[in-house]
Amino acid sequence: MKYAILSDIHANLEALNVVMDKCKQCGVEKYVCLGDVVGYNANPSECLEILRGVDLLACVKGNHDEYASSEDEEMVGFNPHAREAVLWTKSHLSEEQQAWLAALPMKKTIRGTNMTIVHATLDSPEAWGYIFDVHHATDNFSYQFTQLCFCGHSHVPIAFSKRPLTMGGENPIQEIIEWRTPKNVPPEELPESMEVKLETGWKYLINVGSVGQARNRDPVASFAIYDADNATVTRYRLGYDIATAQAKIKEAGLPERLALRLERGN
């Protein structure tokens, strides 16, 4: 069974279409979403309907999904551009679409699989915290009872492994360096994909990056495919039509910075 793991689509239709085409090419059978389907970009309704039109095994709620489907207009912690985008998004979603987003859980262990999913962190998903290092990963592993936990929110691909304590030696929790985008390497020189082979008895915490708004200075759509039969998780980097996505943002009257950051990947 192959599962597509998507996160932080953020209403970027151009990026999502490229990702869905790749999923079909790779023989993906089920889809999993880690939240923030909407926000920032100009096609929230279209992206939501694409997601709901596939075999969606599970989806959790992101902070933009939360605010776009609630009465909270204060949005504590949001910068003005993010807040403006959420208010615009709310006006472009139907009541039924908002209700669907509102009903999403904060975290979920997917029955019949070895996966737990969350947008932010397992220990306090509603606080919208970030996982950037081994210290943060350690807290998350304390609440992880499945081999795999997929998360999003930071828009930065990062992965950690936790080997069995019986192996002894150094800290059992380590970052999987190969998953992170290398520094000082031009995006055009990076590979399209990178694979992690899952070891029996180990646990993994994996951020798959963002489909719709990269923040690791690599302006591509990032997502992963989990191949349960071969025990691999592969992250893909896909170029998409950034210019069209930017034009839509500007045409919608959304903050120009949201368009500019797409080409910079930050």
- Mention the CATH class of domain 2-264: alpha beta
CA distance 142 to 4: 25
**Percentage of the chain with pLDDT > 70?**
98
What residue ranges do the domains of the chain occupy? Answer: 2-264
**Which phi and psi (to 5°) does residue 31 adopt?**
-120, 145
Question: For residue 125, how far is the Cα from the chain centroid?
Answer: 14
Per-residue confidence at 73, pLDDT binned at 50, 70, 90? confident
Which has more confidence, 217 or 170?
217
pLDDT digits (tens, 9 = 90+) for 189-198: 889 999 999 9
pLDDT digits (tens, 9 = 90+) for 109-168: 999 999 999 999 999 999 999 999 999 999 999 999 999 999 999 999 999 999 997 666
Q: Within 13 Å, how many C-alpha atoms sit on residue 163's CB side?
A: 11
Give helix 44-52 / helix 13-25 axis angle, nearest 10°.
20
Give helix 242-251 / helix 256-264 axis angle, nearest 10°.
170
pLDDT at residue 224, as a whole number: 98
- For the beta carbon of residue 178, count every other beta carbon within 10 angstroms: 11
pTM over 0.85: yes
Per-residue confidence at 169, pLDDT binned at 50, 70, 90? low
- For the beta carbon of residue 29, count every other beta carbon within 10 angstroms: 13
CA distance 131 to 220: 21
| Angle at CA of residue 39, ends 23 and 133, nearest 5° | 75
Strand 193-197 to 232-238 pairing: antiparallel
CA distance 80 to 153: 18
Residue whose token pair is 């019949």: 112
How many helices (H) does the chain have, and how many strands (E)? 8, 12
Residue 187 pLDDT > 90:
no
Average pLDDT rounded to a whole number, residues 90-114: 97
pLDDT digits (tens, 9 = 90+) for 217-238: 999 999 999 999 999 999 999 9
Which has more confidence, 188 or 237?
237
Which has more confidence, 223 or 170?
223
